[in-house]
Amino acid sequence: MRDQSQVLPNGRMLRYSYRERLVHWTASITYVYLMLTGLAFWSPWLYWLAFVLGGATISRELHPWIGLIFTVAVVMMYFMWAFEMHSTENDREWMRGVKHYIQNEDEKTPPQDRFNAGQKSLFWGFVICGILLLLSGLILWFPNYLPWSLRYLRYIAVLVHPAAALITIGLFMIHLYMGLAIEEGALHSMVGGDVSQTWAKEFHRLWYEKIVRQPAPRSEVRK
């Protein structure tokens, strides 16, 4: 017995709905803009990025507003996916053997559900850093609204904002590597929304088995 809502007529499997893809790409595009303009403000060596993106003044004016759009997208992703991002014993086993995942030794990694432990870690990393970026960003956006007695919050924000941003840049690089180099076909799943059953069995076998409601033999998974 199959879940007809996720097994498509052509035999492929629906990995991400249109809404999930729209929210993901909204977060991605706004994040890249924030990352580039943020780096321009952070280092004189990268200030030229601001001119590429329309000029220093425009970049400065748009950065906080684009940040609000990014925040809304992250909040939407939280409500869409948080219930699937809880850590399990299977995830902890996966993390202990993460070197096999990096080396494409999939047969040595435990089967994963819709999201593996690495993806869950990235999710929570962006959620936590997103909160820090929002709070510190609001303080830096409206510093004059803070009373003098709370001026220490501005000093904290000056440190927290770039620190959280640098952490997200590291997470972003890992996300790109996982999606483009390790899990071939992951990019297509976020563009077109679907994946082959072979891909699902290889990278997210528990998710595949839940959808088709039958176990996938290890022999069918690409080595």
CATH number for the domain that contains residue 37: 1.20.950.20
Find the mean pLDDT for residues 114-124: 94
Q: What would the pLDDT profile of 83-117 be if each residue is shown by its tens digit?
A: 999 999 989 998 988 888 877 777 778 888 999 99
The answer as to whether 66 is a domain residue is yes
Say if 177 falls within a structural domain.
no
Ramachandran region, residue 54 (left: φ > 0; alpha: ψ -120 to 50; beta: rest): left
Asked if pLDDT for residue 146 goes beyond 50, the answer is yes
Mean pLDDT within 133-155: 94
pLDDT at 215 over 80: no
Q: Is residue 123 part of a domain?
A: yes
pLDDT of residue 4: 53
Per-residue buried b or exposed e for 38-56, using 16+ beta carbons within 10 Å of the residue's own CB? bbbbeeeeeeebbeebeeb
Each residue of 157-173: pLDDT tens digit? 999 999 999 999 999 99
Structure tokens at 209: 């088995």
> What's the pLDDT at 220?
45
For residues 211 and 191, the answer to whether their CB atoms sit within 8 Å is: no
| 134 is a domain residue | yes
Q: pLDDT over 90 for what percent of the chain?
A: 67
- The answer to whether residue 5 sits within a structural domain is no
Residue 176 resides in a domain: no
DSSP tag of 7:
B
Tokens representing 206 are 């528990």
Q: pTM of the predicted model, to two decimals?
A: 0.87
Q: Which two tokens stand for residue 38?
A: 């943020």
- Higher-pLDDT residue of 66 and 180 is 66
- Domain coverage including residue 106: 17-171
> Is 211 inside any structural domain?
no
Domain count, the chain: 1
The reply to whether 223 falls in a domain is: no
